[in-house]
Amino acid sequence: MDLYPFKSVGGMMEPIALQDHLVAIHYIKSVYYKRVTFFEGLPPFQAIDLGAIVAATVSARTPITRMDMYDGEFGQFRLFPLDNIQLRVFLPRGSAKGDLKTIQVPIDPAIVTRNPDLSMTELFVWQDNHPAIEGVNANALAVTSGIVIAMGYRYHTDDPGDPISRQEEQAVNLLRSEAEAEAVRLNRTNQFAKLKDDEVLMLAIKKKMVPCTHIWASGMSAAT
């Protein structure tokens, strides 16, 4: 499956998952295994306006609530500043995006020409766990607005459920047959016989027997 975060092909943004694909949402210390049931594109929109920022000043850290998603949904976003400011992005819970040892790498307006598909700015939002942002005005003059433009995809998900593809069915059958053979060899009860197909599929996903795209919807600081 040729879908992965930060993909950059031909200057266009692509969805990280398609209908019926499996995803693993990493949020803080939890992993949520889901199946995409619906997705749609989100054209460029104003995600936030940080307002006026005086010269040589950093704005207050402000949550981007317009990136909130419904329960069971995640968003894939890329963004850039429309005004002449730099952006510092913070992912839940407060982890700096682009956190190097001596600098937090910012996003400036030149990103639209240096990285036209904005792949280096990509981030993910799980449900209503939105990022926050600071605007850096490194200029000698004040700016009157700090507009940030975002675009991306919205995904509705559900639990993986029963296998729906041939590859998923083969993985479930293989696990069942291996468990049966092991039970016969050891003269023990086959514990897999009590499991439903959706439970066996979950084991197959965790064993990486079927494609599953891993998505980080939170940050990881050096102190984590």
The model's confidence at residue 25, banded by pLDDT at 50, 70 and 90, is very high
Each residue's pLDDT tens digit, 98-126:
999 999 999 999 999 999 999 999 999 99
Each residue's pLDDT tens digit, 49-69:
999 999 999 999 999 999 999
Each residue's pLDDT tens digit, 122-173:
999 999 999 999 999 999 999 999 999 999 999 999 999 999 999 999 999 9
Q: What is the pLDDT of residue 11?
A: 76
Q: What is the pLDDT of residue 224?
A: 54
Q: What is the pLDDT of residue 1?
A: 56
> Would you say how long the chain is, in residues?
224
- 53 with 73: CB under 8 angstroms? no
Each residue's pLDDT tens digit, 178-205:
888 888 888 888 777 889 999 999 999 9
The rounded distance, in Å, linking the Cα atoms of 165 and 109 is 43
The arrangement of strands across the sheet holding 73-81 comes to 123-126, 73-81, 147-158, 30-49, 22-27, 213-216
Q: What is the pLDDT of residue 181?
A: 87
Rg of the Cα atoms in the chain: 22
Does residue 83 surpass a pLDDT of 60? Answer: yes
50, 55, 222 from 9: Cα distances, Å:
31, 37, 30
Domains observed in the chain: 41-157 (2.60.120)
Mean pLDDT of the chain: 94
Q: What single letter denotes the amino acid at residue 183? A: A
Does residue 18 surpass a pLDDT of 60? Answer: yes
Q: What is the pLDDT of residue 4?
A: 87
